């Protein structure tokens, strides 16, 4: 007997060296002979059963012939049930058979034997971590099958214990880390808690082994899956690119005959398909289909992964069909999705996703062929999918959304009100869900609004309120600025339409609150990070200290992520840190708001707070929606908002006025060498042929009705007697010169806004609310930055040097040193350093509005350096004075984000300057010095200390002086505007 045992061990050793099947076959034969010869009560009989089971298992791993696995299980079952190592092996066998056949009994048995093995094994046993890891894997496998959260929670618990018991230098530690990461991902699928994805990525990055390690491809695949969930949740293109990179590496490291190769190919194909949906590059979806077709061929029909491969392939065909309308693609999509549904057991948690994808394919074919039978099938399978999905599952909103789309299409086809009512129910449930990607919930909210409008349903107000509440999450603080703005382009008109609806029902106060809540989202978020937490500090100092620390870190993280020159690895690490900070911030906010007296902590301002904006003059919100256009007037002392319907104005008229203005500026030859624009872009022609006609329309349709409602009278004396009025335009009106509205022509018929009031603009009402301390300093530091005359990157601007000289001359006339001039050499670092120290600033240089990436807009400095929006917002001026931006397009903004005020002037308000003089388009180099001289002649006098709050009046005076020149053309004086106080 001992001879047979020794021979069997020698054969096993030979197999380890040669990996030849012949050695395993001999070992199996010898083990069986030994078992026949050894009596049942022999003390070593269990060892022969163990050797046989081990050999059969290795034979299965080598050949993938499931007969060997069944025989291995049968052999292992013969062993004593009180040996932990034997139980561990039996659990492995059951687990492997489950992965092939999806027989729930196998995973139940695996869990049972591992739990028994755990009870028999002390913590200091070297095998204990492996058993914990294996038990965790089985819990996660059962959770994947049944869709229950309890199992994945148990998986995480035991896998965390396995990691804790394993030293960092142990060869098996990476495998345990990657398994734990996969379980965190699974919990994210259930709960949608982004912290789980971050944990998964952290675990799997830590697990990565050298390329020659056998487990490296699997670890890369798991890491790619984690990055993919990150992409699905926040839509950052960098994440899906990272996914494809790491999974491609997994595929490349895996030999063609390897059992896991089809799985890696399948995942990679699915990821290429997802990137196609995001970017629209045909090469991606073609590559996806090629890979997935190969994966289908390589995956046995009885393998549990086969339905998933069919699903991914069907989704790819569907995506390609949606873009290119090749009927063969959608036919193939439906066929493979039907296979996926048929191959998935009814009690499997993935059944609901398979049904949803099949329903989406039927829906796509319906949209192409208009065959109601397809739509009925779509609704049928989508309803089943919704019913199978728990309400608290993160994927529920997506399934509700799909079903809502099908019901809404049914309504459009048959005009049955019951269908739109059903659609609205699905959309509202999705929008109000507490889990799932915010982009999905936001889209559902928009569709809910659309349905409620169609029915004039009583839930319309709730729909707007819920959807507006989702906006800050859509532009999540954990994303870089560019991605946050990109996300908001899909919500461009939401706040305006919400306000128009509130106005329609007479809720003017709500309209103002919604407009403030739904505009300038990104910068309001950043302002929250700079809020002093005085009340919280008094009552809860420890919590105030935590939230203050996180706010500072989060603000700095926002700026770092927009550094394009950083290497990818550093960027990803910083992105993870940024997202983690955003999650901590949200948890801290929730904790603060749970405390008595702090329920509204950093929540959108209520009307009572917003009414404080009118302390220096009436504030006029011009709401320009496709529903209708209105003015909302806030005047000092009033507790309510005054409404004025702008009956003569429509959204289309406002758009035409904007197009006409662009056309006029282009035709005036504004791209010339002596202006201060680095570039200008205009498109389209409008219906108005002159500046006079545009300004006349603005007067008659907007400004005159407002002045009449305020009972303002034309003033014939100097501007010192004029009141100040603050304009807060929205939509296309944000790009029009409201401040210059009037009738320009013969002297007897002339009438213009500047004769009634001094105009200022504001991007938000909050920007006008005075801080608790608003003292005018007796002495100020004025930073002056001029375009260097020797910089050859852009057209020379000799007027900038003249401009600074005029400022110096004005200061020299002062009797006292109330103003200290600080000059910069124009280097970016020098400007930022001095900007932090000076309460006033004057820029005379080229201005750039970047239409592709608004946060890259800025001012051109020395050595071809650009002072970008993302640079400027790092500066903090709690009590800043005036920022004079004597450059082009400093208040132009981005037309795709009209209500986000993505321009330099608004950013200067954000960092703390109370008032800003800026330009709506390019200005001439020979005009700018005169404007600057006249402005400062009014601000710097010997009569009183300089007061930045007089800047609007000073600019009014300067522009009036320009207009006195009979040869002065409109486009030369029109662009100068004042923002803020």
3-state secondary structure 484-550: HHHHHHHHCCHHHHHHHHHHHCCCHHHHHHHHHHCCCHHHHHHHHHCCCCHHHHHHCHHHHHHHHHH
Q: What is d(CA 203, CA 206) in angstroms, rounded to the nearest whole number?
A: 5
Distance (Å, rounded) from C-alpha 377 to C-alpha 63? 42
Q: What SS3 state is found at 198?
A: helix
More confident residue, 466 or 206: 466
> Domains of the chain: which residue ranges?
2-204, 254-388, 395-456, 532-600, 607-766, 779-980
Instruction: Give the lowest-confidence range in 165-174, 197-206, 381-390, 672-681.
Output: 672-681
Q: Express the helix, strand and coil content of the chain in percent, nearest 5 each.
A: 65, 10, 30
Asked if pLDDT for residue 276 goes beyond 90, the answer is yes
Q: According to the model, what pLDDT value does residue 662 have?
A: 87
Query: For position 42, what pLDDT does the model report?
Result: 55
Give bridge partners of residue 677 from the DSSP assignment. 847
SS3 state at 771:
coil
Inter-CA distances, 227 with 214, 446, 583, 933, Å: 22, 28, 17, 56
- Asked if CATH classification 3.40.50.1460 holds for the domain at 779-980, the reply, yes or no, is yes
Query: Does residue 75 carry a pLDDT above 90?
Result: no
What's the whole-number mean pLDDT along residues 510-526? 92
378 in Cβ contact with 410 (< 8 Å)? no
pLDDT value for 634: 97
Shared fold status for 2-204 and 254-388: yes
Report the distance separating Cα 866 and Cα 564, nearest Å.
Answer: 14
Is the pLDDT at 707 greater than 90, yes or no?
Answer: yes
Angle between helices 306-324 and 351-369 (to 10 degrees): 20
Mean pLDDT computed over 961-971: 88
Residue 787 has pLDDT above 50, yes or no: yes
* Start-end of H helices in 642-722: 651-667, 691-698, 704-710
State the average pLDDT for the chain: 85
CB 200 within 8 A of CB 187: no
Q: How far apart are CA 961 and CA 968, in angstroms?
A: 10
Instruction: Give 721's DSSP letter.
Output: G
Give the pLDDT band of residue 566 (cuts 50, 70, 90).
very low
Considering only CA atoms, which of 477, 588, 492 is closest in space to residue 524? 477
Q: Which of 758, 776, 765 is nearest to 881 (CA)?
A: 776
- Dmax (CA) of the chain: 124
**CATH 1.25.40.10 for the 2-204 domain, yes or no:** yes
Burial label for 662, CB within 10 Å (0-12, 13-18, 19+), is: buried
The percent of residues above 70 in pLDDT, for the chain, comes to: 86
State how far Cα 418 lies from the chain centre.
35
What pLDDT score was predicted for residue 675?
Answer: 54
Q: How is domain 254-388 classified at the CATH fold level?
A: 1.25.40
Tokens of 229: 């969930």
Contact 973, 963 (CB under 8 A): yes
In this prediction, residues 955-960 reach a mean pLDDT of 95
In the numeric block, which tokens belong to residue 860? 């051109």
Looking at residue 78, what is its pLDDT?
66
Helices 951-963 and 928-939 pack at an angle, to 10 degrees, of 130
Give the number of C-alpha atoms closer than 13 A to the C-alpha of residue 740, restricted to the C-beta side.
23
Binning pLDDT at 50, 70 and 90, where does residue 511 land? very high
Q: What is the pLDDT of residue 718?
A: 64
The three-state secondary structure class of 390 is coil
CB-based burial label for 167 (10 Å; 0-12, 13-18, 19+) = exposed
Per-residue model confidence (pLDDT) at position 556: 77
Assess contact for 240 and 228: CB atoms under 8 A.
Answer: yes
CB 751 within 8 A of CB 810: no
Provide the CA 185 distance to its chain's centre, in angstroms.
20
pLDDT of residue 576: 76
**pLDDT at residue 550 above 60?**
yes
Distance CA 873, CA 835 (A): 11
Reply yes or no on whether the pLDDT at 565 is more than 50. Answer: no
Rounded Cα distance, 795 and 785, in Å: 17
- Which tens digit of pLDDT belongs to each residue from 754-776? 999 999 999 999 999 987 666 67
Flag whether pLDDT at 485 surpasses 50.
yes
Q: Which of 464, 500, 765 is nearest to 624 (CA)?
A: 500
Summarize pLDDT for 278-332 with one digit per residue, the tens: 999 999 999 999 999 999 999 988 888 899 999 999 999 999 999 999 999 999 9
Q: Compute the CA torsion angle 964, 969, 973, 974 (nearest 10 deg).
A: 120
pLDDT at 459: 94
| CA 940/CA 815 separation, integer angstroms | 10
Alpha-carbon distance 588 to 543, whole Å? Answer: 8
> How far is the CA of 937 from the CAs of 719, 803, 813, 816, 981, in angstroms?
14, 13, 10, 15, 19
Q: Is 64 helix (H, G, I), strand (E, B) or coil?
A: coil
pLDDT of residue 535: 85
What was the pLDDT predicted at 20?
52
User: Smallest Cα–Cα separation from 185: which of 194, 177, 172, 176?
Assistant: 194
Classify residue 567 by its DSSP letter: -
Look at residue 679 in the predicted model and tell me its pLDDT: 39
Cα 725 to Cα 522, 763, 880, 903, 954: the distances in Å are 26, 14, 22, 22, 14
**Choice between 516 and 971, residue whose per-residue pLDDT is larger:** 516
pLDDT value at residue 923:
84
pLDDT value for 567: 43
| Residue 58 structure tokens | 């290795």
Mean pLDDT of 645-672: 84
Q: Is the model more confident about 578 or about 42?
A: 578
549-553, 568-572, 588-592: segment of lowest average pLDDT: 568-572
Q: Are 859 and 887 in contact (CB under 8 A)?
A: yes
Pick the range with the lowest mean pLDDT from 735-739, 833-837, 846-850. Answer: 846-850
Closest Cα to residue 185, out of 231, 216, 146, 217? Answer: 231
In angstroms, the CA 899 to CA 897 distance is 6
What tokens were used for 185? 């991902």
Q: Which residue carries 């496709």 as its tokens? A: 626
Question: Between residues 906 and 446, which one has the greater pLDDT?
Answer: 446
Contacts for 601 with CB less than 8 Å, ≥ 6 apart: 536, 589, 592, 593
Q: Give the least confident one: 156-160, 542-546, 576-580.
A: 576-580
Please tell me the distance from the alpha carbon of residue 841 to that of residue 821, in angstroms, as a whole number: 9
> What local confidence, expressed as pLDDT, does residue 564 receive?
47
Is pLDDT at 674 greater than 60 in this prediction?
Answer: no
Phi, psi dihedral angles at 629 (to 5 degrees): -115, 140
Neighbours of 840 (CB within 10 A): 26
Question: Quick one: tokens of 718?
Answer: 């100097």
Residue appearing with tokens 């330009």 = 919
Helix (H) or strand (E) holding 232: helix 216-234
Q: Which of 54-63, 324-333, 407-416 has the lowest mean pLDDT?
A: 54-63
Is the pLDDT score of 881 beyond 80? yes
What three-state secondary structure class fits 962? Answer: helix
């Amino acid at each position: 007997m001992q001879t047979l045992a020794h021979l069997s061990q020698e054969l096993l050793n030979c197999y380890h060296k040669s990996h030849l099947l012949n050695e395993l076959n001999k070992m199996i034969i010898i083990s069986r002979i030994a078992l026949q010869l050894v009596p049942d009560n022999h003390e070593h009989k269990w060892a022969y059963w163990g050797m046989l089971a081990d050999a059969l298992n290795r034979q299965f791993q080598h050949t993938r012939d499931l007969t060997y696995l069944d025989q291995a299980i049968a052999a292992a079952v013969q062993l004593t049930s009180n040996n932990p190592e034997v139980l561990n092996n039996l659990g492995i066998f059951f687990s492997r058979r489950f992965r092939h056949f999806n027989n729930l009994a196998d995973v139940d048995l695996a869990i049972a034997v591992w739990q028994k093995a755990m009870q028999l094994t002390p913590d200091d046993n070297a095998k204990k971590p492996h058993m914990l890891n294996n038990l965790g894997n089985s819990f996660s496998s059962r959770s994947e099958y049944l869709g229950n959260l309890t199992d994945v929670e148990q998986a995480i618990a035991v896998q965390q214990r396995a990691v804790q018991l394993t030293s960092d230098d142990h060869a098996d530690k990476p495998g345990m880390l990657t398994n734990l990461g996969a379980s965190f991902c699974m919990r994210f699928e259930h709960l949608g808690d982004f912290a789980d994805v971050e944990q998964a990525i952290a675990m799997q990055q830590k697990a990565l082994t050298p390329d020659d390690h056998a487990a490296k491809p699997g670890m890369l695949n798991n890491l790619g899956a984690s990055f993919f969930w990150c992409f699905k949740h926040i839509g950052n293109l960098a994440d899906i690119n990272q996914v494809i990179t790491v999974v491609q590496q997994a595929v490349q490291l895996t030999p063609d005959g390897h059992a896991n190769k089809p799985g890696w190919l399948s995942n990679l194909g699915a990821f290429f398909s997802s990137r196609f949906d995001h970017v629209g590059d045909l090469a991606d979806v073609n590559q996806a289909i090629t890979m997935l077709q190969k994966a289908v061929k390589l995956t046995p029909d009885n393998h549990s992964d086969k339905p998933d491969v069919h699903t991914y392939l069907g989704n790819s065909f569907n995506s390609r069909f949606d873009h290119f309308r090749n009927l063969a693609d959608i036919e193939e999509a439906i066929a493979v999705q039907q296979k996926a549904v048929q191959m998935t057991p009814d009690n499997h948690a993935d059944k609901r996703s398979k049904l949803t994808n099949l329903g989406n394919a039927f829906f796509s074919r319906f949209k192409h062929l208009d065959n109601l039978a397809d739509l009925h099938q779509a609704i049928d399978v989508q309803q089943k999918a919704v019913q199978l999905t728990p309400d608290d599952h993160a994927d529920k909103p997506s399934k509700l959304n799909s079903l809502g789309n099908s019901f809404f299409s049914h309504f459009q086809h048959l005009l049955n009100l019951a269908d739109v009512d059903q659609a609205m129910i699905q959309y509202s449930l999705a929008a109000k869900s507490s889990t799932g990607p915010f982009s999905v919930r936001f889209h559902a909210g928009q569709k809910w609004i659309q349905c409620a409008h169609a029915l004039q349903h009583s839930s319309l107000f709730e729909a707007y309120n819920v959807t507006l509440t989702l906006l800050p999450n859509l532009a999540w603080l954990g994303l870089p600025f560019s991605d946050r703005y990109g996300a908001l382009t899909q919500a461009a008109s939401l706040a305006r339409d919400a306000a128009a609806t509130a106005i329609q029902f007479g809720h003017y106060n709500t309209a103002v609150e919604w407009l403030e809540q739904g505009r300038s989202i990104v910068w309001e978020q950043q302002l929250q990070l700079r809020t002093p937490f005085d009340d919280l500090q008094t009552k809860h100092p420890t919590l105030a200290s935590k939230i203050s620390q996180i706010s500072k870190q989060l603000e700095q993280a926002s700026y770092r992520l927009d550094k394009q020159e950083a290497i990818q690895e550093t960027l990803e690490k910083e992105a993870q840190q940024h997202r983690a900070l955003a999650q901590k911030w949200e948890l801290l906010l929730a904790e603060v708001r749970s405390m008595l007296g702090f329920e509204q902590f950093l929540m959108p301002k209520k009307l009572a707070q917003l009414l404080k904006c009118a302390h220096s003059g009436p504030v006029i919100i011009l709401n320009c929606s496709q529903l209708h256009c209105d003015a909302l007037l806030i005047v000092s002392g009033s507790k309510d908002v005054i409404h004025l319907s702008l009956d003569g104005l429509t959204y289309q008229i406002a758009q035409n006025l904007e197009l006409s203005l662009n056309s006029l500026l282009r035709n005036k030859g504004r791209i010339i060498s002596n202006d201060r624009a680095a570039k200008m872009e205009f498109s389209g022609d409008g219906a108005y042929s002159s500046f006079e006609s545009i300004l006349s329309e603005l007067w008659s349709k907007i400004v005159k009705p407002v002045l009449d409602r305020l009972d303002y009278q034309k003033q014939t004396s100097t501007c010192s007697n004029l009141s100040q009025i603050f304009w807060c335009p929205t939509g296309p009106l944000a790009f029009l010169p409201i401040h210059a509205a009037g009738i320009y022509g013969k002297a007897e018929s002339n009438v213009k806004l500047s004769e009634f009031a001094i105009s200022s603009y504001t991007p938000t009402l909050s920007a006008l609310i005075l801080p608790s301390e608003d003292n005018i300093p007796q002495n100020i530091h004025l930073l002056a930055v001029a375009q260097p005359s020797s910089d050859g990157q852009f057209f020379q601007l000799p007027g900038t040097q003249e401009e600074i000289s005029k400022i110096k001359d004005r200061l020299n006339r002062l009797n006292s040193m109330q103003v200290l001039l600080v000059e910069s050499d124009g280097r970016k670092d020098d400007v930022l350093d001095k900007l932090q120290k000076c309460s006033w600033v004057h820029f005379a240089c080229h201005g750039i509005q970047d239409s592709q990436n608004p946060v890259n807009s800025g001012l051109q400095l020395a050595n071809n350096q650009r002072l970008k929006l993302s640079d400027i917002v790092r500066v903090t001026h709690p009590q800043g004075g005036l920022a004079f931006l004597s450059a082009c397009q400093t208040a132009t903004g981005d037309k795709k984000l009209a209500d986000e005020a993505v321009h330099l002037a608004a950013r200067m308000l954000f960092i703390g300057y109370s008032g800003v003089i800026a330009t709506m388009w390019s200005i001439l180099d020979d005009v700018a010095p005169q404007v600057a001289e006249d402005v400062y002649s009014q601000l710097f006098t010997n009569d009183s200390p300089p007061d930045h709050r007089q800047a609007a009046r000073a600019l009014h005076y300067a522009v009036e002086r320009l207009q006195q020149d009979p040869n002065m053309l409109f486009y030369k004086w029109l662009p100068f505007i004042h923002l803020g106080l």
